[in-house]
């Protein structure tokens, strides 16, 4: 309990002053779409070249990010959806690295499975949109193995003051 109190005491000045860090570029909503690059170009380990796409809605506030997403891959009758709370390394810059954890579900025709993934993102920002590359390491609980995927896409920012 003392450690938690000490941690809160040390973090309080940062939390209290966080409003001064925020700028128009640091706080916004975004919507986006992306595609699994390997499946789009080469095909997967169990499928030919096919569309595996994502749709997302997210919110950024300085170093914090949260994304709700939906992924569909008709070729193998796969869908996933979830939320990704994350950390943004360089908010407000042109090149922004970010990382998040995907707390999600995989839906197959026969069952719905909980799933977990770790994502690393590299984003390049323009005024009202950004493009990204995302590396994902997902625990595929429908088949009980880890799957590495690379996605690319773009997002549109909105909700500026």
pLDDT digits (tens, 9 = 90+) for 93-151: 999 999 999 999 999 999 999 999 999 999 999 999 999 999 999 999 988 889 999 99
Neighbouring CB atoms inside 10 A of 134's CB total: 21
pLDDT at 20 over 50: no
* 143 part of a folded domain: yes
* 14 part of a folded domain: no
Among 87, 86, 81, 52, smallest CA distance to 68 is for 81
CA dist., res. 149 & res. 142, Å (int): 16
* 1 part of a folded domain: no
Domain range for 79: 22-158
The tally of domains found in the chain comes to 1
* 2 part of a folded domain: no
* 5 part of a folded domain: no
pLDDT of residue 62: 86
* 6 part of a folded domain: no
Q: Is the dihedral angle over the CA atoms 125, 132, 35, 158 positive or is it negative?
A: negative
Write down the pTM of the prediction: 0.81
Using the structure block, give the residue that is written with the tokens 């997403």: 69
* 37 part of a folded domain: yes
Q: Are the C-beta atoms of 31 and 156 separated by less than 8 Å? A: yes
DSSP type of residue 74: G
On the CB side of 41, how many CA atoms lie within 13 Å of its CA?
A: 7
* 41 part of a folded domain: yes
In the chain, DSSP finds a helix count (H) and a strand count (E) of: 3, 8
Residue pLDDT, tens place only, 43-82: 887 789 999 999 999 999 989 999 999 999 999 999 999 9
CA dist., res. 130 & res. 120, Å (int): 16
CATH of residue 65's domain is 2.40.160.20
Among 129, 79, 83, 66, smallest CA distance to 107 is for 79
């Amino acid at each position: 309990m003392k450690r938690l109190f000490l941690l809160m005491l040390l973090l309080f000045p940062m939390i209290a002053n966080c409003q001064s860090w925020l700028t128009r570029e640091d706080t916004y909503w975004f919507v986006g779409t992306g595609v699994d690059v390997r499946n789009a170009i080469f095909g997967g380990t169990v499928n030919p070249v096919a569309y595996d796409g994502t749709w997302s809605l997210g919110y950024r506030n300085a170093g914090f990010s949260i994304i709700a997403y939906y992924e569909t891959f008709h070729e193998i009758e796969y869908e996933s959806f979830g939320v990704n709370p994350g950390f943004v390394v360089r908010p407000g810059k042109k090149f922004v690295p970010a990382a998040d954890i995907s707390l999600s579900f995989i839906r197959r025709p026969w069952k719905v499975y909980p799933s977990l993934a770790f994502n690393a993102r590299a984003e390049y920002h323009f005024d009202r949109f950004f493009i990204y590359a995302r590396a994902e390491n997902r625990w595929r609980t429908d088949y009980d193995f880890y799957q590495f995927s690379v996605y690319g896409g773009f997002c549109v920012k909105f909700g500026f003051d």
